[in-house]
Chains A and B, each alone.
Chain A
Amino acid sequence: MRVHAKRAGALASGLMLPAMSMADWTVNMSPGVTSTSNEIFSLHMTILWICVVIGLVVFGVMFWSIIAHRKSRGHKPANFHENTLVEILWTIIPLVILVVMAIPATATLVDMYDTSEADIDIKVTGYQWRWKYDYLDEEFGYFSNLATPLDQVQNRQDKGENYLLEVDNPLIVPVGKRVRLLLTANDVIHSWWVPALGIKKDAIPGFINEAWFQVDEPGVYRGQCTELCGKNHGFMPVVVEAVPGEEYNTWLAEQKAAARKERELTRQDWTMDQLMARGKKTYQTACAACHQPDGSGAPPAFPALKGSAIATGEKMAHIDIVLNGKSGTAMQAFGGQLSEVDLAAVITYERNAWGNNTGDIVTPKEILDYKNQK
């Protein structure tokens, strides 16, 4: 255990070095920081060594023949072509090795599948291309988006130390508590993976998968989506931050207060400027991946919003497509993903940015009314 923790520490500090010297030569799995990841690591090492030993024997015999039994050395061929005893032995021995290997593998698997009795339940939802974390007992949730600036991806800016492995809002969990994840997805299949936790589980639309972990060391653990989920599959990292219990409780209180405040915002009066400012931010995180930051889209897959018939036409039709999405296309229903304020802001933004100067304001109250009338 202690060795494992140290190695994990070494790996983590490896990740902290500045950009260029960061490139490292890690050649093996890391043992990780949970009991599951440690068990997996030891299974991995066991089977690896078994393979190495078998390989040495087999390739040893082979290279001996290659070197010693060459025609150029005048070696005369033997003529044997079967030997029942040998053939039985090299069927039975591998079988025994496999059985020996299967025992600890089974035990680990049983352990991984035991998702009962969790202290905290968090619902993880995969979206194209971000994660949403809902704290089921606490009535709040938030999105976790890639935080690496596009300029770094496009090589216009130096890449940061956590390039592509950083998010705006990591998943926060307390140390020493058993956390259960309920994984699902909103559109296509995603897969939630954090190597240090030893968890990789598919997030499948319409179905719920379960996984659990308990971290005892505070720290930041990084991973990625591992199921091809479309264009930005490579750009939806997972970051988990394990914090001490007290810190977690303070954070929890803050989040709950913020969620309450958010609900109050809906009732507040908003000016065009306020909505535009907020809308721009929402647009960049939630919409720009498909419709592009300048509203030009990527036709034919993703329509332009700049000058689009919907974004410059009937207000209701615009609200409708953003809230309800369009089934059968990549345009999702954002009604449940964004708050009323953000929805109002982003729609106002789309109706007034990039020369779409409709002058329309959509208020959070209008969104609420629209939702209620349904």
Chain B
Amino acid sequence: MAVTGVFMSSVADTHTQDHGHHGPAKGFSRWLLTTNHKDIGTMYLVFSFTMFLLGGTMAMVIRAELFQPGLQIVQPEFFNQMTTMHGLIMIFGAVMPAFVGLANWMLPLMIGAPDMALPRMNNWSFWLLPCAFLILLSTLFMQGGAPNFGWTAYAPLSTTYGPPSTTFFIFAIHIMGISSIMGAINVIATILNLRAPGMTLMKMPLFVWTWLITAFLLIAVMPVLAGVVTMMLMDINFGTSFFDASGGGDPVLFQHVFWFFGHPEVYIMILPAFGAISHIIPAFSRKPLFGYASMVYAVGAIALLSFVVWAHHMFTVGIPIVGQLFFMYATMLIAVPTGVKVFNWVATMFRGSLTFEAPMLFAVAFVILFTIGGFSGLMLAIAPADFQYHDTYFVVAHFHYVLVPGAIFGIFASAYFWLPKWTGHMYDETLAKTHFWLSFIGMNLAFFPMHFLGLAGMPRRIPDYALQFADFNMISSIGAFMFGATQLLFLFIVVKCVRGGEKAPAKPWDGAEGLEWTVPSPAPYHTFSTPPEVK
């Protein structure tokens, strides 16, 4: 079953009618009050990139401190605040909002809907985010500093021993959670109700499928996160002892609840990228996606399995052996559907007619590097071996391999793929390729040596290290600086593309398929006021 030939008819004339009546309002109130999915998508993307630069700056502080052994730039307290804030900002501020931004822009265009199903809530769910992050960032200036217990916030370090700002951290998490849940409800409502006539579930583009599943994951686990931080709040401010052993509580309970949220969360950050990549690879291979149906089933299987593997983050806490075995087997199983996806992408490229514009470069790098991250994930799943890997730089290498070339390269690939649709201009291909190669080299230089560091015994989250780790840390820092600086180039490319450039046709990629390419570039403010027909 393939998505080929899912087209349209009535689009071309709909937008012409739109021209006279309401376009965007002017000035700031356009952005504050907008309910237009394209405006909101843009705001999400801009917000996400701002957070990406901010979280990236914190990563630069971390890598600068780790450039050499000894303490040079920051003190351990501040270092811990940087690792914590870097994680929180990248996850909740950069990656998740970027995918919501892509969803806002693309879901209605891909399913032939005029807008998201719940446009006012859409506006609200965006504007909650800057509020949440202002609160979170303000903790940096509070007495006792920002949260310093890692993004995982393990109790009792984060409760009994946490800084006074922890309560603000909890509040910020609550607001982010509400925003995500509202976003997810909107995605589900849109996909289930607003598809163009003829677009059955199994004809939906994969990006739509992966977002649908992601949205269900979000609704399932964000309340769990809210629950666990509320328990923290009670322990800190209202004298309960959920996680305090001296009051009859259990610190490990925190970890169980947290990771019940946390593991699906990592799939929340990668599934939409799976979807986008499944459009980009066929487009530049000029060949339909291999195994559409198995792709859908694989994503579903991954999402379901993600609920029963949480304790693989906790192999060293001393869970009973039966539990240990269960979580090991379940985790290993995830490799099967993930493998299917990778094989499908490779089979799509096989015997295609390949070109390597920036979206394809990022997509190919995605497949290769994500697979490497998957391999280290499989290694981490082997519980006895995890006793050596756990909480070392091997884990840091692993999750950066799935998140940077996974989520972030996925986002870059999507951005380049759809920029012509958003702006009406082609981006500068030479600069974009430069962006790719510098990112690719920087990223591997930064994160590959971390595998070695972890295997040689370097724990994570330390501001200073023993001398045998010096060389690889220096290389890693150099790579990180390179990767970080390169992202300013991306900003430049996007600004340049927004301001001008070669005019983009409705369908700038000859191999691309889907309803979004049937509307003109830039996509008019209102699209699909009359639903297209999908055959």
Q: How far is the CA of A228 from the CA of B77 in the complex (A)?
A: 12
- B329 lies within 8 A of chain A by Cβ: yes
User: Among A66, A82, A328, which residue has the most Cβ atoms of chain B within 10 A?
Assistant: A82
Name the residue among A25, A77, A159 with the largest chain B CB count within 10 angstroms. Answer: A77
Task: Give the residue name and chain of the A residue nearest to B344 (CB).
Answer: A87
Q: Is A250 an interface residue (CB 8 A)?
A: no
Asked if A198 meets B144 with Cβ closer than 8 Å, knowing A48-B379, A155-B70, A187-B156, the reply is no
| A233 in the interface (beta carbon within 8 A) | yes
Neighbouring B residues of A26 by C-beta, 8 Å: 452, 455-456, 468
Contact between chains at A101 and B332 (CB < 8 Å): yes
Q: How far is the CA of A328 from the CA of B246 in the complex (A)?
A: 11
What string of 1s and 0s marks CB contacts (under 8 Å) between B351-377 and chain A? 111110000000010011001100100
Interface residue from A59, A91, A112, A188 paired with B156 (Cβ < 8 Å): A188
The residue from B72, B354, B383 contacting A109, defined by CB atoms under 8 A apart: B383
Interface size on B, residues (CB 8 A): 99
Q: CB within 8 A of B375: which of A55, A164, A209, A235?
A: A55
- Write out the residue numbers on chain B whose beta carbons fall within 8 Å of the beta carbon of A66: 349, 354, 364
Contact yes or no, B291 A81, CB < 8 A: yes
Given known A-B contacts A69-B354, A163-B69, A235-B464, A226 and B391 have beta carbons under 8 A apart: yes
B466 touches A300 (CB 8 A): no
Query: Which residues of chain B are within 8 angstroms of A163 by Cβ–Cβ distance?
Result: 69, 466-467
Are B384 and A22 in contact, with the CB atoms below 8 A? no
- Residue among B4, B353, B367, B371 facing the most chain A CB atoms (10 A cut-off): B353
Q: What residues of A have a CB within 8 angstroms of the CB of B293 in the complex?
A: 82
B70 lies within 8 A of A153 (CB): yes
Alpha-carbon distance A205/B159, docked complex (angstroms)? 13
Residues of A within 8 A of B459 (CB): 193, 224-226, 234
Question: In the bound complex, do residue A81 and residue B340 qualify as a contact, i.e. CB atoms below 8 Å apart?
Answer: no
Candidate in A207, A223, A227, A232 with the most chain B CB atoms within 10 angstroms: A227
- Determine if B465 and A234 form an interchain contact, defined as CB atoms under 8 angstroms apart: yes
Which of B156, B350, B384, B392 is within 8 Å of A61, CB to CB? B350
Assess whether B70 is in contact with A152, with CB atoms less than 8 Å apart. yes
Q: Report Cα–Cα, A205/B503, bound state, in Å.
A: 64
Q: How far apart are the CA atoms of A101 and B385 in the complex, in Å?
A: 12
- Give the complex CA separation of A205 and B290 in angstroms: 52
**What's the Cα separation between A205 and B155 when bound, in Å?**
10
Which stretch (B128-136, B220-228, B313-321, B522-530) binds chain A?
A: B313-321
Asked whether A79 is an interface residue with its Cβ less than 8 Å from the other chain, the reply is yes
Q: Is the CB of B467 within 8 A of A77?
A: no
Q: Are B452 and A227 in contact (CB under 8 A)?
A: no
Number of A-B contacts (CB under 8 A): 299
| Interfacial chain A residues near B383, Cβ < 8 Å | 105, 109
Q: Contact check: which of B143, B339, B378 meets A90 at CB < 8 Å?
A: B339
Interface residue? B328 (CB, 8 A)? yes
User: Nearest chain A CB to B176's CB is how many angstroms away?
Assistant: 22
Interface residues of A in 61-116 (CB under 8 A from B): 61-62, 64-66, 69-72, 75-82, 86-87, 90-91, 94-95, 98, 101-102, 105-106, 108-110, 112-113
Interface string of B282-304 (1 = CB under 8 A from A): 00011111111110000000000
Asked if B351 and A159 make an inter-chain contact with CB atoms under 8 angstroms apart, the answer reads no
A105 in complex: contacting residue of B161, B367, B385, CB < 8 Å: B385
Interface residues of A in 156-192 (CB under 8 A from B): 159, 161-165, 187-189, 191
Contact present for A153 and B371 (CB under 8 Å): no
- Please determine whether A198 and B351 come into contact, CB atoms closer than 8 angstroms: no
Mark out the residues of chain B between 374 and 401 whose CB falls within 8 Å of any chain A CB in the assembled complex: 375, 378-379, 382-385, 387-388, 390-392
When chains A and B are docked, how far (Å) is the Cα of A117 from the Cα of B510?
A: 71
Instruction: Tell me, in angstroms, the Cα distance from A193 to B347 when the chains sit together.
Output: 43
**Inside 8 A of B470's CB, which chain A residues have their CB?**
23
A101 touches B388 (CB 8 A): no
A336 within 8 A of B: no
B495 interfacial by beta-carbon distance below 8 Å: no
Question: Is the C-beta of B335 less than 8 angstroms from some C-beta in chain A?
Answer: yes
> Please, which residues of chain B bring their CB within 8 A of the CB of A51?
375, 378-379
- A94: which B residues are within 8 A, CB to CB? 335-336, 339
* Complex Cα spacing A61 to B367, Å: 13
CA distance A228 to B255 in the complex (A): 14
Given A81-B291, A206-B251, decide whether A95 and B154 contact each other with a Cβ distance below 8 A: no
Of all chain B residues, the one with the shortest Cβ separation from A92 is B336
Contacts of B148 in A (CB 8 A): 230-231
Task: Contact check, A87 vs B291: say whether CB atoms are below 8 A apart.
Answer: yes
Q: Determine whether the beta carbon of A202 is less than 8 Å from that of B317.
A: yes
Assess the A44–B388 pair: CB atoms within 8 A: yes
B71 contacts across to A, CB distance below 8 A: 153-155
Provide the residues of chain A in CB contact with B291, threshold 8 Å. 81-82, 87
Interface size counted on chain A using CB atoms at 8 A: 106
The answer to whether B332 touches A71, judged by C-beta atoms less than 8 angstroms apart, is no
* Alpha-carbon distance A6/B250, docked complex (angstroms): 43
B98 part of interface (Cβ distance < 8 Å): no
CB distance from B367 to the nearest CB of A (A): 7
- In the bound complex, do residue A71 and residue B353 qualify as a contact, i.e. CB atoms below 8 Å apart? yes
B25 to chain A, nearest CB (A): 44
- Please, which residue of chain A has its CB at the minimum distance from the CB of B451? A27
A78 in contact with B351 (CB, 8 Å):
yes
Partner of B452, one of A15, A27, A65, A81: A27
Given the contacts A43-B382, A65-B350, A187-B161, A77 and B290 also touching, CB distance less than 8 Å: no
Q: Kindly state whether residue B157 has any CB partner on chain A within 8 Å.
A: yes
Give chain B nearest CB distance to A82 CB in angstroms. 6
Given contacts A26-B455, A206-B246, contact A77 B353 (CB under 8 A): yes
Closest residue of chain A to B471 (Cβ to Cβ) is A23
Q: Mark each residue of chain B from 143 to 167: 1 if its CB lies under 8 Å from any CB of chain A, else 0.
A: 1100011100010110011011000
B178 touches A (CB below 8 Å)? no
Q: Give every chain B residue within 8 A of A165 (Cβ-Cβ).
A: 466
CB pair B329–A102 under 8 Å, yes or no, is yes
**B372 lies within 8 A of A55 (CB):** yes
Alpha-carbon distance between A62 and B387 when the two chains are bound, in angstroms: 34
With a cutoff of 8 Å between Cβ atoms, the chain B residues found around residue A210 in the complex are 318
A62 touches B349 (CB 8 A): yes
Q: Determine if B332 and A328 form an interchain contact, defined as CB atoms under 8 angstroms apart.
A: no
Assess whether B157 is in contact with A189, with CB atoms less than 8 Å apart: yes
Give residues 30-53 of A contacting B (CB, 8 Å).
30, 36-37, 39-40, 43-44, 47-48, 51
Contact (Cβ within 8 A) B250 A206: yes
Q: Does A3 contact B (CB under 8 A)?
A: no
For B336, the chain A residues whose CB sits under 8 A away are: 91, 94-95, 98
A233 adjacent to B144 (CB under 8 Å)? no
Q: How far is the CA of A223 from the CA of B384 in the complex (A)?
A: 18
With a CB–CB cut-off of 8 A, which chain A residues contact B246?
Answer: 205-206, 327
The answer to the question of A200 belonging to the interface, with a C-beta cut-off of 8 Å to chain B, is yes
Determine which of A27, A91, A153 lies in contact with B340 in the assembled complex, contact meaning CB atoms within 8 Å. Answer: A91
| Interfacial chain B residues near A71, Cβ < 8 Å | 286, 353-355
Could you write out 14 A-B pairs with CB less than 8 Å apart? A23-B471, A40-B385, A51-B375, A77-B353, A82-B293, A87-B291, A91-B340, A98-B335, A106-B328, A195-B388, A198-B388, A206-B246, A224-B459, A230-B80
Nearest first, the 9 closest Cβ-Cβ pairs linking A and B are: A206-B245, A234-B462, A51-B375, A209-B318, A26-B456, A77-B353, A78-B351, A108-B384, A226-B391
Contacts A105-B382, A105-B385 known; list 18 others, CB within 8 Å. A40-B385, A58-B342, A65-B346, A65-B354, A75-B353, A80-B351, A82-B292, A112-B384, A164-B69, A193-B391, A204-B317, A205-B251, A224-B457, A226-B391, A227-B154, A234-B463, A234-B465, A300-B164
The chain B residues found within 8 Å of chain A, CB to CB, are: 1-2, 4, 69-72, 76-77, 80, 143-144, 148-150, 154, 156-157, 160-161, 163-164, 245-246, 250-252, 285-294, 316-318, 321, 324-325, 328-329, 332-333, 335-336, 339-340, 342-343, 346-355, 364, 367-368, 371-372, 375, 378-379, 382-385, 387-388, 390-392, 451-452, 455-457, 459-472
